[in-house]
Amino acid sequence: MIEIAEFKSPDTLRLPEGVAARFRASDRFVVLVEGDALYLKRIAPRSVGSIVADAPEGQPMSLDEISDLVHEVRRQRQAG
């Protein structure tokens, strides 16, 4: 798909509607610039499942630990 974006001001890049519809206003992106090419890669916050999967094995997590993880993921999503 090839569409045209428009540079509106020093901090605003207007995306075509079809492209913009794929994202949320809070999405964040890594920006890579190579010469006159600009690449955007959406940053996805880690899911609770991936955080729990990384937890050390052994004792099950306490409800407080689980609650802390859920709150951290929610903070990450709200931040961006």
| Average pLDDT value over all residues in the chain | 83
Q: Which residue has the tokens 């993880």?
A: 69
Domain range summary for the chain, segments of one domain joined by + = 6-43, 48-79
Residue 80: pLDDT above 70? no
Q: Grade residue 51 by pLDDT with cuts at 50, 70 and 90.
A: low
Q: Which residue has the tokens 């951290």?
A: 72
Can you tell me the distance from the alpha carbon of 26 to that of 80, in angstroms, rounded to the nearest whole number?
Answer: 5
Which residues, other chains included, contact 17 with Cβ-Cβ below 8 Å and sequence gap of 6+? none
pLDDT value of residue 2: 86
1-20 pLDDT tens trace: 788 999 999 889 999 999 99
Residue type, 4: I
Tokens of 38: 């600009």
pTM value? 0.50
Give the 3-state secondary structure of residue 50: helix
pLDDT value of residue 48: 65
Q: Which of 45, 44, 51 is nearest to 65 (CA)?
A: 51
